[in-house]
Amino acid sequence: MIKCMYLRFPQFRQKALTLSYDDGVSADKKLIDIMSKNGLKGTFNINSGKFAEESGGFRLTEEEAVALYSESGNEVAIHGVHHIPLTYIDNTMGINEIFKDRQNLERLFQKPVQGMAYANGVYSDEVVDMLKKCGVLYARTTKSTEAFEIPDDWLRLPTTCHHKNPRLMELADAFLADPAQRNFWADRARLFYLWGHSYEFDYDNNWEVIEHFAKRVGNRDDVWYATNMEIYEYVRAYKRLQFSSNEDFIYNPSNIDVYVDYFGKQVCVKAGELKRI
């Protein structure tokens, strides 16, 4: 990769933000309402074998889930059919836990489902191999870095933090701030990745935490709000850019327009475009 070319998100934004919430529960309705009001987007990781039979309980019914997530514009991803930690079971059972969940969600939502969050956050190299066999493209862990780096290992995807992190708002302010020149983050793209379970806000009686966060980081022109998969696909498109030997042409073989900062010049390479720079 050229030293002085930097990733930019759509419309040359330097910042992106995404959420990841688990289990397909009724509290997601309130969370999505808060997200929508503040322009946030994210991914909801669903256990397709644990839908409720009747509405009004802790978990959503199939019908409620399809209506809620489809209409909101958020992503649905795999979380295991029965939320079984994949390191607790053998390979055959593990692959079934992953792949059956994928099949169920694709049947319900009528689109490919290739993202995932690990049940209980546990995984191993053997589990990662299972995911590859099941066509999973990214998988979120529960590791919090308190940083805003673009991931390198998408099948061991870390987060910035859980919403219970006592430094949540401090991290939000650091993410939004424009770094000083010659600072490590001055030119690099940044990603804030928040995760949790929406039912925790009910248990802890603190919905104001996510409301305050959403108001602080939401509805900003300088932040790209996207699902986990949208960010994965965009970063992948950026990494697929091809350069001529003397670096005067860029070719974008993907179907996504890619924005870059190239030696201080803003360049958009459209899908399929061969562009002189």
Element (H, E) at 114: none
Q: Which of 153, 177, 148 is nearest to 7 (CA)?
A: 148
Find the radius of gyration of the CA atoms of the chain.
19
Retrieve residue 220's tokens: 């900003």
Nearest to 197 by CA among 189, 188, 207: 207
The three-class DSSP label of residue 73 is coil
CATH superfamily of 15-236: Glycoside hydrolase/deacetylase (3.20.20.370)
**Token digits for 57?**
């309980």
- In tens, the pLDDT along 247-267 reads 899 999 999 999 999 988 999
Q: At what angle do helices 62-72 and 91-109 cross, to 10 degrees?
A: 70
How sure is the predictor about 4, in pLDDT bands with cuts at 50, 70 and 90? confident
Domain boundaries, the chain: 15-236
215: tokens are 């108001």
49-71 burial, b for 16+ CB within 10 Å, e for fewer? ebbbeeeeeebbbeebbbebbee
Would strands 15-22 and 223-225 be described as parallel, antiparallel, or unpaired? parallel
d(CA 41, CA 43): 7
pLDDT band at 211 (very low <50, low <70, confident <90, very high): very high
CB-based burial of residue 76 (10 Å sphere; 0-12 exposed, 13-18 middle, 19+ buried)? Answer: buried
pLDDT at 138 over 90: yes
Identity of the residue numbered 48? S
Distance CA 116, CA 141 (A): 9
Q: Tens digit of pLDDT for each residue in 54-83?
A: 999 999 999 999 999 999 999 999 999 999
Q: How many CB atoms lie within 10 A of CB 134?
A: 20
Which of 35, 43, 105, 32 has its CA nearest to residue 233? 43
- Round to whole Å and give the CA distance between 241 and 100: 34
pTM of the predicted model as reported, rounded to 2 decimal places: 0.96
C-alpha to C-alpha distance for 173 and 220, rounded to whole angstroms: 13
Q: What is the reported pLDDT for 179?
A: 75
Q: Rounded to an integer, what distance in angstroms lies between the CA atom of residue 123 and that of residue 121? A: 7
Number of residues written out for the chain = 277
| β-bridge pairing 138-144 and 115-117 | parallel
Look at residue 18 and tell me whether its pLDDT is greater than 90.
Answer: yes
CA angle 96, 100, 102 (to 5 degrees): 125
